[in-house]
């Protein structure tokens, strides 16, 4: 269940990043093709926009990875906590069963001695 949620979060982040990248590229290309200016100026703008888009994408990926790491740590911490709870509960059950078995053995000995 935890892995499913983490995978879903990763897919959502990846989808947003791809959408932003595609939208940014489409907008930049449209703007540059529609602008009445020289080819040299257009190439310069394309280069600048490409660098800007690359930097934003890198920043978003780093943020997404940081969030995924935090989520992973939280899932690990929660899993360890739950494992400790289950271990404690299991130990309690074993203790109860041992007491029950001990009581049964005592009752059996008493019955044998009274026979």
User: Residue 112's pLDDT band (boundaries 50, 70, 90)?
Assistant: confident
Contact predicate 41/54, CB 8 Å:
no
Rounded Cα distance between 22 and 15, Å, is: 11
The answer to whether residue 6 sits within a structural domain is yes
Q: Let me know if residue 91 belongs to a domain.
A: no
Per-residue pLDDT reduced to its tens digit, 12-24: 777 887 788 788 8
CB of 32 within 8 A of CB of 42? yes
Looking at the domain assignment, is residue 92 inside a domain?
no
Q: How confident is the model at residue 6 (pLDDT cuts 50, 70, 90)?
A: low
Asked whether residue 75 is assigned to any structural domain, the reply reads: yes
Q: Which domain, by its residues, includes 7?
A: 2-83
In a domain, 93, yes or no: no
31 located within any domain? yes
Q: Please count the structural domains in the chain.
A: 1
Closest C-alpha among 43, 49, 47 to residue 28: 49
Examine residue 96 and state whether it is found in any structural domain, yes or no: no
CB–CB of 78/6 below 8 Å? no
Q: Is residue 28 situated within a structural domain?
A: yes
Is residue 90 predicted with pLDDT exceeding 80?
yes
CA distances from 71 to 8, 81, 85 (A): 12, 15, 21
């Amino acid at each position: 269940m935890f892995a499913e949620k983490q995978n879903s979060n990763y897919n959502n982040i990846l989808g947003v990043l791809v959408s932003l990248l595609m939208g940014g590229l489409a907008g930049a290309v449209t703007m540059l093709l529609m602008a009445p200016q020289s080819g040299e100026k257009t190439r310069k703008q394309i280069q600048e926009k490409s660098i800007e888009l690359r930097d934003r994408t890198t920043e978003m990926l780093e943020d997404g990875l940081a969030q995924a790491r935090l989520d992973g740590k939280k899932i690990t911490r929660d899993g360890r906590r739950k494992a400790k709870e289950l271990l404690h509960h299991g130990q309690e059950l074993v203790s109860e069963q041992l007491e029950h078995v001990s009581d049964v053995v005592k009752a059996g000995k008493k019955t044998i001695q009274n026979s």
